């Protein structure tokens, strides 16, 4: 197992940031345990650099000629191991040592070839794309597992995606420079690339799941045959006769939705991966209904939930622990066990302290350090729970997990 070289930096001038990132990558590529000649690069930039996206990609491609394939996108924030960059010019790069016959970069001008047997895929998307949810589901159907991971680009400037393969010779790509706007792009992986992925909803159910027995568009009128508003007030132990206290509770309450055949809450009291969390956007006292930010249908299952720091932190630690449990050997060498029990927060990842080659983390732009209590707090939780692992990612306008488009979630994917 070889670690994926990675680097991150912030600077008002993108060339200076790129120089710092390249220095980190080149230094790691000479170290024992790191991949010396990876061919797939993942590039994430904050929207401060969006106008220079093509120049950045061209520069990195020229400086790293051995990296023939690139994918990535822009976010209002980006992430790397133990750090988050919000509202500042920054970039992060990870070079993945994946066999060239085990992945394909795709985009709107160079779709995934039918001859490639995709097992799963990293997907970046533009939120303005028509019928986006249907396109994501269609892409999931083209994979053997039906599992996608990724997110929607988020930007206050240009909404760009990076996708270029085989030194620009990808069929259908023509003279495209690798920077795109609109649609889907990303990397499809074959069965030989071993990935483990988990979704953290960051919400805790506060009441049992119920069946929607009455619905009109996005208005839930009945739950288990009872007026939906009455059920909501009972579950939250609030009354509209005390409007201030009721509004405080309602602002912290969301709904988890899923189809009738799927469990809302799993055996350990957390939302299942098929649950999508949506805001409550209004109440209808006349019809005793609850309006949510999604179309609802009779037969769907619904559970009210809360979104706060404690719930988000606990669920994030849970998915990291699940990943470690799935990937770690039953017995560790003494040096590795000692490093995990007392990690140096500034130490770089090493093959002795992690069973993982690299990781990608896509989180909601409404999460990040501010939601978890301080600068870079979310990524610090990931590092403490997951251990030292090369990691890059971005803060998205919507998160993609399995075949669904989520909100307020984190999608963590690791390479064995």
Cα separation of 283 and 344, whole Å?
Answer: 50
Cα separation of 390 and 412, whole Å?
Answer: 13
For residue 134, the model assigns a pLDDT of 94
Cα separation of 100 and 380, whole Å?
Answer: 32
Task: Please provide residue 173's backbone torsions phi and psi, each rounded to the nearest 5 degrees.
Answer: -75, -30
Report the C-alpha dihedral over residues 144, 75, 291, 200, rounded to 10 degrees. Answer: 50
> Which residues, listed in sequence order, are joined to residue 411 by a DSSP beta bridge?
199, 362
For residue 398, the model assigns a pLDDT of 92
Cα separation of 387 and 239, whole Å?
Answer: 45
Cα separation of 30 and 243, whole Å?
Answer: 63
For residue 50, the model assigns a pLDDT of 97
For residue 110, the model assigns a pLDDT of 86
Cα separation of 18 and 178, whole Å?
Answer: 18
Give the contacts of 192 (CB within 8 A, at least 6 positions apart). 99, 102
For residue 173, the model assigns a pLDDT of 47
- Ranges under pLDDT 50 in the chain: 167-175, 267-268, 332
DSSP 34: B
Task: Please provide residue 335's backbone torsions phi and psi, each rounded to the nearest 5 degrees.
Answer: -65, -40
For residue 347, the model assigns a pLDDT of 57
Chain centre distance of CA 47: 17
Q: Are 415 and 361 in contact (CB under 8 A)?
A: no
DSSP 123: E
Cα separation of 148 and 70, whole Å?
Answer: 18
For residue 203, the model assigns a pLDDT of 79
- Taking only Cα atoms into account, the Rg of the chain, rounded to an integer number of angstroms, comes to 22
DSSP, collapsed to helix, strand or coil, labels residue 63 as helix
pTM, rounded to two decimals: 0.84
For residue 97, the model assigns a pLDDT of 95
Q: Helix 377-386 crosses helix 309-327 at what angle (to 10 degrees)?
A: 30
DSSP secondary structure, 226-247, as one string:
EEHHHHHHHHHT--TTSHHHHH
């Amino acid at each position: 197992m070889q670690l994926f070289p990675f680097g991150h930096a912030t600077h008002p001038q993108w060339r200076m940031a790129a120089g710092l990132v390249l220095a980190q990558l080149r230094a790691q590529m000479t170290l024992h345990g790191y991949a010396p000649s990876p061919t797939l690069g993942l590039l994430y930039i904050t929207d401060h650099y969006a106008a220079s996206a093509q120049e950045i990609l061209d520069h990195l491609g020229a400086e790293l000629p051995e990296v023939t394939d690139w994918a990535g996108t822009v976010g209002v924030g980006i992430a790397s191991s133990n750090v988050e960059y919000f509202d500042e010019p920054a970039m992060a790069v990870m070079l993945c040592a994946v066999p060239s016959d085990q992945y394909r970069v795709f985009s709107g001008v160079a779709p995934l070839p039918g001859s490639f047997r995709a097992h799963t895929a990293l997907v970046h998307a533009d939120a303005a794309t028509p019928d986006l949810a249907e396109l994501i589901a269609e892409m999931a159907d083209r994979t053997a597992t039906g599992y996608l991971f990724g997110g929607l680009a988020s930007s206050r400037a240009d909404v760009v995606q990076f996708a270029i393969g085989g030194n620009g010779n990808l069929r259908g790509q023509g003279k495209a420079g690798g920077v795109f706007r609109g649609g889907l792009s990303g990397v499809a992986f074959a069965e030989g690339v071993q990935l483990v992925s988990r979704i953290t909803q960051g919400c805790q159910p506060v009441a049992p799941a119920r069946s929607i027995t009455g619905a009109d568009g996005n208005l839930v009128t009945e739950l288990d045959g009872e007026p939906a508003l009455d059920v909501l007030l009972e579950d939250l132990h609030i009354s509209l006769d005390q409007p201030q206290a009721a509004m405080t509770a309602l602002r912290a309450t969301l709904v988890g939705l899923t189809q009738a055949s799927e469990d809302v809450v799993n055996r350990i009291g957390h939302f299942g991966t098929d649950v999508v969390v949506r805001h409550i956007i209004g109440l209808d006292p006349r019809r005793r209904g609850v309006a949510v930010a999604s179309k609802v249908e009779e037969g769907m299952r619904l559970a009210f939930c809360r979104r706060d720091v404690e719930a988000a932190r606990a669920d994030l630690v849970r998915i990291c622990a699940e990943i470690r449990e799935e990937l770690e050997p039953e017995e560790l060498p003494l040096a590795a066990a000692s490093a995990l029990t007392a990690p140096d927060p500034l130490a770089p990842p090493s093959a002795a302290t992690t069973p993982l080659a690299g990781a990608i983390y896509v989180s909601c732009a409404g999460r990040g350090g501010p939601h978890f209590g301080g600068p870079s707090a979310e990524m610090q939780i990931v590092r403490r729970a997951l251990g030292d692992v090369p990691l890059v990612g971005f803060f998205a306008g919507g998160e993609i997990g399995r075949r669904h488009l989520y909100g307020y979630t984190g999608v963590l994917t690791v390479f064995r």
